[in-house]
Chains A and B, each alone.
Chain A
Amino acid sequence: MEKPRVGVFICECGGNISDVVDVKKVVKTASEWENVLVARHYTYMCSKPGVELIKQSIKKRELNRIVIACCTPKMHRKMFERNVGEEGINPAFLEIVNVREQCSWVHHGDNEGATQKAIDLIRGAVKKVENAVPLHPGKMPVKPAVLVIGGGIAGITAALRVAEAGIKVYLVEKEPTIGGHMAKYAKVFPTLDCAQCILTPKMGDVAENPNIELFTLAEVKAVEGVPGDFKVKIKLKPRGVDVEKCVGCGACNRVCPVETVSDFDEGLGKRKAIYIPFPQAVPSAYVIDFDSCTKCGKCAEKCPRKAINLEDTEKEIEINVGAIIVATGFKLFDLSDYGEYKYGMHPNVITALQMERLMNVAGPTSGAIVRPSDGGEVKKIGYILCAGSRDTNKGKPYCSRVCCLYATKQALMMREFMEGLDIWIHYIDLRAAGRRYEEFYKNAQIEGVKYVRGKVSEIIPDGDQLIVRAEDTMLGRPIENKYDLVVLCPPIVPSPDITKLAEILKIPLDEDGFVLEKHPKLDPVATKREGIFACGVITGPKDIQTSVSEAEGAAAKAINFLIQKEKIIEPNKAYLAVPEKCDACGECIEVCPTEAISIASEKVEINEILCNGCGACIPACPKEALDLKGLSEKQLMAEIEGILTGSESEIKILAFVENEIAYTALDLTGVARLSYPSSIRVIPVPSTSRLKLKHILYAFAKGADGIMFLEAPEHEGPFGKAHAIAEERIENYKFDIEDYDVDSIRLWFSKVYVPDWRKLVKVFETFDRMIKDEGPIEQEVRENILKQLSQETDT
C-alpha cells in the first residue's frame, strides 16, 4: 500500500466551532504529526471555496487520505465524499470528525478542554484513515419477477398492480380458487356494495393478465437465495381436473355419489367430492377433493372433455423471483375452549363467517335465515362481539378491528330483507374508527338494531333457543335476552400456515403470530427482511379497504425494489479475514441477526447481501478470524490509540456510540447547546456488539479511565438482535476487566432512544464524576494490561 499522505481540514463554521475550539492550535498540532502533509482551517469548509481548498490541496500535495473536522457527518459527509471522490479519493479514505456537535456546541466555557478533545478526535481519525483500505460497493442483478403468496383480496390487488407495471408475477394460492374470504361475503361495509360484484372482475383480471402465472392448490415449500434473487420451490397438490380442458359444465358433479361437508360454506352446507367452490371461481374449473373421493370413476366417464384424471399426482416446480409479497390472510380463532359460549355444543350458536354463508343468496340455504337445529323460523338474533378478542385469559389480547362493523353490516342487511327481525349486538366498546364507519353504526341504530354494552358472560341453551346473560353496563344491571340464533365474533388470527412460511422466508412474527413489520409506523408493508413485503390481515386484523391500500403499498415497494435492475451492495460488511484460522465452530452463526452466515467447505461463509454490517459476529469468533470492512480491527485499534495517546487531558473517557439512534441523540444534545464534560470522546460503531474485550483492555492500557457504551434499543435500532447481544457482552466484560485490576464501575452501558437526548447529559455528568472520584488508572496497571495483551497475541 502506498504511504499515507493525509490532509487535515478544520472548519470554523463561521465561529460556531472556532469561538470555542482554538482552530489555529489544532492546525499547528496536526501539522506536526507524521504523514500529515496539509493542515488548514477555513470559515466554511462546506462552502464552494472550502471544498475547492480541499480539492486543490489534494491535487497540489498529492493527498490520498482526507480528515475533515466539522459538523456531524449526518450533515455533509455525502457531499464531501462526492467531492473528494472527484479527485480520486475512495470514500474509505475520508474521515469526518464531529467537532461541532461533540466539541464546540457542548463544551462552551471550556475552550481548552474542547480544543484538546478536538485534537484527540482528529488524531484518532488520522490514525484510523491511515489504516483504511479502499472499499467498493458491489452490484448484483435483480430478478424482475415477484412471488405473491395468498390469493385473497390483498394478494389479488398486489399481483395485479405488479403485473400492470410489466413485471412477471407468480401468484400462489393454497385453495382451488383465488378470492379468499371476501368471496364468501354477500356485501361489504360501510357501503353495502355487493362483494362478488366488486371482487370477481378483479379475479377475472388475474386470470386474463399475461404477466400473472397463477398456481392454485399450491404451497411454498422452500426459499433459497438472497433478496433480488430468490429460488422458490412450490408444491402443487393434485387437482384431478385439467384446468385447460374443463369448461365447467358440471356433468361430473351431477354424477358424483359422494357428499361431504362444504368448507367454502363454513361447514353449514354439503358438496360433492368433485366440485367448484363457487360459480365465479378462478380458475374456472372443477376440482376433486381426494380426501373424500372414492375414485368410482363416474365423473371421468361423464366428462365430455376428458378433463378428469383420477390418478393425478403432486408436482413440484421451481421459480426464480427478485421479491416476495406475503398475503396469506387469516382464519377465525377456535372457540372450543369457551364452554360458556356453547360453540360446537349447540347448533344455533354459529360464527360470523357461518352467518355470512347463511345469509348469502349463493349460500347453503339460498339466503334463508333458519335455525340450524330444526330449520325453524328465526325472529331474534344476538351477536356476541369480542368472543375471545381483548381477552388475555383464553383468547387474544388485541381488538380484531372489523367485528363491530361486520356485525352491524349483517344486522342491517338482514333487517332489510326480514321485516320485524329483532337483532341485538352485545359489545364491550363499539369501535367504528374508520371513514364513514360511525355514520354506518348510527344508521343501524336508527334502523332499530339494538346495542348492549357489556361482554356476554354465558349462553344457556333453552330448547332450540338460547338465553344470553350479560350486564348492561350502562345501567349497571344484569340482563337476559333469549335468541333463536347466536352469532359469535371470534378473534381474527393469522392464517396458521404462516408459522412454517415465516421460517422458510426467514421473517420474524410478532407475539400474536402476525408478520412483524419493518417499522410499524413508517415501514408498515415491509418485513424485517429485504425484498420481502407483506400486506392484508397477515400483518394484523384490518378491513378490506386497508388491506387493499396495503396491497397497493406492498406492490409499489416490490416494484421499487426490482426497478433498480442492479442492486448496490454496501461494502461495510463482515468477512472471513483469516480463513486458515476458521474451524467452522459456528459461534458467529449463533449471534448473526440476519442469518447471513453459513458453513461451506468447512469454513464459515458470510453472505455480503444478507450481512447488515452490525459486527456482532466478530467478537463471537474465538479464533479472531472475522473482520469488518470500514471499521477493521486495525482501524479500530489505531483510532483508540490515536485518540488516547498524546492527549493532555487529565481524565479520558471513551464512548463507543451506536451510529444511528444513539449518535443522533448525541447530536441533538449539541443542537440544543447543552453542556457536558469534555472528558467524553466518541468513537462511532455500527453497534457496540462490534467490540471485543481486547478493544476495551487496549483502551484502558492506552490511557482511558472509563469506557461507555451507548447502544440503540433492540426494537428501534437498525440491527435488531445485535443491540441486545451488545448489552449481554458488556455485562460480561465488566467481570472480565476485574481480572486485569480494573474496577467494573469503569464500564458503563446505556440504551439510548432518540428522544432521550436530554438524559445523555446526566449520564455523562454522572459517569465523569464517578471516574474523577476513582481517579486515573495507575500506570502500572496499564502497562500490565499491555503486557498481557501482547502475550495473548503472541500465543
Chain B
Amino acid sequence: MDSTKPLIKIDEETSDFIAEILEKGAQIFPKEELERILTCIQCGTCYGSCPSGRITAYHVRVIMRKAQLGLKEEVLKDENLWNCTTCYTCQERCPREVETTDTIRLIRNMAFEAGYVKKPHLIVSRNFIETGHSIPLRDEDKEKRKRVGVSEIPPTTLTYPEALKEVQTLVEATGFKEKVLKLLEEG
C-alpha cells in the first residue's frame, strides 16, 4: 500500500471488479455462492483466523473490501496475495458464507494472467512443468519414505513417465508453460 496514493476516487479509478471475478469463476463456482462477496460486512473473522496474516502482510479482509470497491489493479499487484496458504480457515468461518479462499484463488489467476506473480511461485511452476511435481524429491525425502515403509519413489509422474506426458500436454495446451517460462525469462 506504500506505493499507492491513499485517496480513492470512485469510478475514475475503480471498475466493476466483482463482475470480473464472478465471470472468471463462473465455470467452476455457482454464481449464488461466489457473489456472496457482495455481502461482506468487513467483520474481520477471516483475517482474525488467518495463520498467514499473523506473520505476513497478507490481509484477506482488506482484499475483500478493495474488491468490493473495484480497486482491481491494487489487488492484483498486491504481492501478499501469494501469502495465502489456502488453508480455507477463513472460508469455513465466514458468517456471510463468502467464498474467501476460492475468491483469492480466482484473483491469483487473474493476477498471474496480468503478469503479477512472485518468483518462488514461478520456480515451483517450472518444477511442475518439468517433473509433474512442484517440490522436487530430495534424497532425505526418499530416506524418510523408506523409514515409514513406503516406496522410495512415489507412485506419481516419477514412477509413470506416461503420466508426466499427460501433465505436460495439459500445461502446454492451456498456455501455462509458455506464460511461466516467459515470465521467468523476463525476471
Contacts and interface: CB of A to CB of B under 8 A. Distances in A.
A479 B66 CA distance: 12
A475 B4 CA distance: 13
A481 interface: yes
Given A442-B96, A479-B8, A482-B10, A474 B42 contact: yes
Given A430-B41, A446-B39, A448-B38, A478 B7 contact: yes
Nearest to B6: A477
A445 B38 contact: yes
Contacts of B10: 424, 479-482
A772 interface: no
Contacts of A453: 42
A442 B98 CA distance: 12
Contacts of A442: 39, 96
A472 interface: yes
B69 interface: yes
A443 to B, nearest CB: 9
B162 interface: no
A475 B62 contact: yes
Contacts of B62: 474-475
Contacts of B68: 450
A430 B42 CA distance: 12
B118 interface: no
Contact of B65 (A424, A472, A478, A480): A472
B11 interface: yes
B134 to A, nearest CB: 34
Interface string A445-460: 1101010010000000
Contacts of B99: none
B39 A480 contact: no
B8 A475 contact: yes
B138 interface: no
Contacts of B35: 446
Interface string B1-18: 000001111110000000
Interface in B29-88: 35-36, 38-39, 41-42, 61-62, 65-66, 68-69
**Range, interface on chain A:** 10 to 19
Nearest to B70: A450
Contacts of A446: 35-36, 38-39
Nearest to B9: A480
A478 B7 CA distance: 5
Nearest to A438: B41
Contacts of A479: 7-10, 69
Nearest to A477: B6
A42 to B, nearest CB: 64
B74 to A, nearest CB: 10
Contacts of B8: 472, 475, 477-480
Q: Considering residues B35, B39, B61, which has the most beta carbons from chain A within 10 angstroms of its beta carbon? A: B39
Interface string A478-519: 111110000000000000000000000000000000000000
Nearest to B96: A442
A529 to B, nearest CB: 44
B39 A478 contact: no
A168 B66 CA distance: 61
A607 B62 CA distance: 67
A474 B63 CA distance: 11
Contact of B39 (A445, A472, A477): A445
Nearest to A482: B11
Given A479-B8, A482-B10, A472 B69 contact: yes
A317 B96 CA distance: 59
Given A446-B39, A474-B62, A481-B10, 19 more contacts: A380-B11, A424-B10, A430-B41, A442-B39, A442-B96, A445-B39, A448-B38, A450-B68, A453-B42, A472-B65, A474-B65, A475-B65, A475-B66, A475-B69, A478-B8, A480-B10, A481-B9, A481-B11, A482-B11
Interface of A: 380, 424, 430, 442, 445-446, 448, 450, 453, 472, 474-475, 477-482
Interface of B: 6-11, 35-36, 38-39, 41-42, 61-62, 65-66, 68-69, 96
28 contacts: A430-B41, A442-B39, A442-B96, A445-B38, A446-B35, A446-B39, A450-B68, A453-B42, A472-B65, A472-B69, A474-B61, A474-B62, A474-B65, A475-B8, A475-B62, A475-B66, A475-B69, A477-B6, A477-B7, A478-B6, A479-B8, A479-B9, A479-B10, A480-B8, A480-B9, A481-B9, A481-B10, A482-B11
